[in-house]
Every structure is written in structure tokens, then in C-alpha cells.
A and B are shown apart, each in its own frame.
Chain A
Amino acid sequence: MPNSFIRPLLVSAALFASANIASADGLADFDALADAARGETVFFHAWSGDPTINAYIAWAGEEIEARHGITVEHVRVTDTADVVGIVLAETAAGRDTGGSVDLVWINGENFIALKEAGLLYAPDGEGWADRLPNWAVVDVAGNPSLTTDFTVPVDGLQAPWGTVQFSFYYDSDVLSQTPTNLDGLLEWTRANPGRFTYPQPPNFLGSTFLKLLLAYTIDDRARLAEPLLADEAEDALTPLFAFLDELHPHLWRSGRTFPANQAALRQLYADGEIVIGLANNPAEASGAIARDEFPASTRSFVFDDGMIANSHFVAIPSNANAPEAALVVANFLMSPTAQLRKQDPAVWGDFTVLDVSALDQNIQDGFAALDLGPATLTPTELGPAISEPHTSWLTAIEEMWAARYQGG
């Protein structure tokens, strides 16, 4: 897969070059920009289903208020697609400035939707994230998902906030030998019917599980970086659905219903209904143990040939009311201090987007000293990362899934 590594590098290199040329705007003098934004309010639309994340955002808001005099209002969001809807509706109604969203926590499909509609803030017609001061320490070289989001170039239109890799959690009191591949998972569910399931697509976590299955059933993973042509979809997805047809009868509730989302799945695991669960964030299970939600015997495992990895970002809509203040917030969110705190499992446990080796020694020590928790795999244990496939794959999978399993 050399191509998928090189391309984002080229893109970011090109953007870096252009960033140095563009100096007429406020981004060139960030301190002046931050001073000018003092006193403004940033409406930060962010998914709010997890109280620990909400608490982290509240902390960041207080820090930003103290450092820059900018107020951050966390607007509670249940589904980021709703925020896309707000921006669309506003611009549709002719409101091209003074919009209600200043900053949004986003990635993948939603980012692409806004990017393609041209609704992302781009001062001087260019990206801004790679012109922020803290971009210098972002792990651009080591983490391709920071510059290519679901195969679409980020182009500096969103600033990286965190990075995650898909993993399974399980109860080690019940399960001693964890599956290492699809066959192992199928074998286990067959022997333990009703103890495994996944959230119903198009839920994000459920879709990610299907993408993992896709990566393991496709003949050549390199194909996933390219768009899926309509006439090839049937053939390319046949092995995936053959596997699902075999798996479903042994799922929770015999696959006749599915949990709605990550939260519902977690609750099923906490209630003891299922024994293996899925997490997008590797630290999720450890956090749940610490909160007494999960049994202390919970551990994590991954498949041998890699797991889906992606990053999440913050973006500024083109009609934001306070885009300059939002830049200041985005820059703070990827600062070493904020990133270190975010990776602390007691706070949130979300992995950093920074190149830790490039940071000050005391911050490096801070990262090294973090106790990841009993159920969190280290980056080495997490194994190889599989990049997100082109969105056309997921669209096709979701359509086929609905036609096949949602017919009632």
C-alpha cells in the first residue's frame, strides 16, 4: 500500500509550502489573531453522549477562557450529521455569515459532505489547520489518517484532535482464547450463540465493524483506497455478505435486532448479555472499568492482520460567526498540554495526534507516565492499522445491508 502513504505526504508537503507563501492573512501572525478574538464566544458542536468527554471539553473551555479570554460553549450533539444539517439549512436560507456553528467535532462522511458542498471555512481559499502554530508537532509523518480522512485529502480544512484504532473488548473470566481472525470469531459465536453483536449500520461503530470484515474478506486490500464502481459492487461484496449470512444466526437475539449505537452495545456488555464488544477508542473499556460499569476482568484483543484506524478532527463551517476565535480553540485542542490530558485514561483516554518524540521532555515524560489501564492495548499491541476505505465502499455496504437484513 505504498501509494496510500505517499499521497497524503505529498499533499501535506504541498500545503505546507503554500502555507509559507500565504502570509498576508491573520494566520501568519497567530498571536495578533488570538488577541483580536478576545471576548468572542465559540459555539463548539460536539457529540455529548459521554460525560467524561463532556467534562474534558468543559476543562478545555476554562483553559481557553483563562489563556485567551475566549468563551467556549459546548453545544450538545447526539449525532454529528445533525450539525451538517444545521449548516446546510442555514446556508440554504442565505445565511453565509453569523452561523450558529463555530466549531464542530467531525470526521469521515460528515467532513466529506461539508467539504464537497464547499461549506468549510477556508481563509484565502485554503486550509488553515496546517498554518496553526501547533501543527509543527503533529505526527504527520507517522499517522497517515491525519491528512487523509476516509481516503479524502484533509487539505487543512479540519484540525486533528485525536486518533483511534478499532478493537474488541471481552470478559477474560469467560473467554480465555481470543479469536485472531474472522474464522475464529465465527467459531466462537457458533459455540456461544447470542453473546456477540454489533451496532446497526449506519451507526458509526457498526459500519466500522463491517469495514473491518470487508478488509478481511476482500481479495486485495489495495482496492479499498479506490472508489467502488457500481457494476463491481455485487462481486466485491459477495464474500463479506456470505460471512454475515453465516454469522447472523448466532448473534445476540439471533440477529433479528441490533443495538442502536456504541452506548447500547456497552450497556449490553455491562448487563452481561454479550461477552465480546466493540470499541472505536482503545481506552473505552479501561474507562468503563474505572467507572464500575464493566467487570474488572475486561480485556481487549485485536485480529492479527490489523484493525481499522482513523482520526477525528475539529472543523469550522464557512458561515461560522467567530472563525478566528475558533482557530484559537482548534490550536489549543492540539496543544501538547491539552493532548496529554486527553490521553489520560482517567480523563478521556483518547490517543494523541502529536509526535510525542518531538515534544518537550517534561511532556514526553508525562505521556510515558500515563497508566493506560488494564484493558487498553499499547500502540504496539494494537498492531497494524488498516486505513479507512473510500466512502463509496461503505455506501454500497450499507445499502446492501439494509436491503438484506432490514426487510423485516
Chain B
Amino acid sequence: MRGYVIKRLAQALGVLWAAYTVSFLVLDYLPGDPVSAMAGAGADSGQVDPAQIAELRHQYGFDKPVLVQYAEHLGKAVRGDFGDSVSTGRPVTSTLTEALPQTLQLTGAALLLAVVLGGGLAVSATYTTRRWLRQLLLSLPPLGVSVPTFWVGLVLVELFSFRARWFPAFGNDGLRGLVLPAVTLAIPTGALVAQVLAKSLLTALDQAYVETARAKGADRVRIHLRHALRNAALPALTIVGLLAGQLIAGSVVVETVFSRDGLGRVTAAAVTAQDIPLVQGVVVFGALIFVVANLLVDLVYPLLDPRIVVASARKARAV
């Protein structure tokens, strides 16, 4: 078990490093650097003193060879310092940590809704013996995945804010303000959860051990919840881990549509302003959230399925 945890941790660090390196290289390769963006932001016309630009470049270290820049930045990033935003001048790290709670609230609520609604949908669809109902329920997830998030957001705002006036259309005020954005974000996410869970539930219900349970005299509820669900949970759990990344990406759209402050808004602004340190900070931060979510999923696996640790060890034997 300890070996398993250490291995997963090492993998997580590897992913973070790769995210940092790739984003560094891509941003370095792109035309335009932060200094010209900064200069452009400072003066409306393009008339900036070249000497001043050279001075700024030196100050930010952009005149050094790429590898040296990379080593310096990586060294700082490891200590949590991603430099200063070139558009606001504030440290990237504090910009992100201030935006984070809003986004965590949103994505956390969305994930909870997605798991509850998606899971509920999957279980009801496989539990019902009515064919038409099952078909109807199983046709919902593809629909949920295929409608665009911003459109769902706009429709919800139209219905529940402008017409019914139940929830505010934008802003960050409290729980009521959270409902519509969270629902918007939860729809595609929950649809994926439902899709995967329903599929693996149907597979699990077809297994021989389910027949053993039926032969014991177990009723359908017991078979569903005690036998099939736990076996079917693993693929769904994998999806939930992967969805953590998608939720962060989705928050860009949802926070923009609902004018909420948060990581998504920061990302959108940073990209528009070519704020390279901030964009890189967002990339690494996103990767961190993704990695942590998947690490949690990996740690939950062995609790759900006692075979997992053994399986990873068995692979080593087959060498």
C-alpha cells in the first residue's frame, strides 16, 4: 500500500513538472512577449522607447538564454513564486489564490450535483423494469453532453432569473447566486457520469456474481446497491477524476456567462491581455487541481476494489 501511494505521488509530481515545462515552452515560442504587452498596455500608441523596453526585458530576465530563464523560473515556481502579472503588477500566486475559493465553491457544488444527479439517473435507468422509461432515461446523458454550456447558462438565466426571478442572474452573492452557475456546469458533467455509470452498471448486472446473488434470494434493491453499484463505481470514479479538469475549463465559460469572479474569469482576462506569467500560473494551477483530484481517486480505488493494489504488483511480476 505504501509503495502504491509513493508511486502515485511521484506520478503526480511528474505531471506537474510536465505541465510547467510544456506551458513554458509554448508560451516562449508564441510571438509577442510580456514586455511588449506591458508596454502596449502602458501607452495607447506603439510609441515606446526601445531603450525602455530593453530595460524592462532585462528587469524581467527576458534577455537571458531560454534554458537559463527556464531554470530560474522553475526554481521559483517550486517555491510557489510565478512572478508578477504584467497587466496588474500583482504577484500571480496571490491573484490565483484569491480567485480560487469562488471557483472551488462553484466546481465543488457542480461536481456534487453531477455525481448525485448523474448517479441517480444511472441507477434509476438500470433499476426500472419498464423498457420505455429506461430508454428515456438513458437518452438523457447524450443530450446533456451535447448541448453547449453557455447556451444552457443563458436559457437558465432567462427562465429562472428574468422570468421567475428565483435566482440572481450574475454575481457572487451567496448560495442563491451559486445555484444557476452550478447547475449549468453540472449538466455536461453529470451527463458523463450518468453515461459511464449506467453502462458499467449494466455490465455489472450481467456478471455471474449477480446471478449468484439472485440465487441466494436477494431482491433487486440489494442486488443493485450492494452488489452491482460498488463494482460499477470504479469506471465512474475514473471519469469523476478526469472531470475535475473539465470543470476548471468549464468555469471559464460559466463564470463569464454569469459574470462571477473566479479562476475562470482570471484565465479569460489573462489570455486576452497576453499576461504570460499569469497564464502560466493558471496552467500549472489547473494541472495541480487535476492532479490532486486524480490522486484522491487513485487513493480511493483500493478502498472500493481490494484487487487494485495486487493488480499493480502483479504487473511487475509479468516482466
A binds B: no
Residues of B in contact with A (beta carbons under 8 Å apart): none
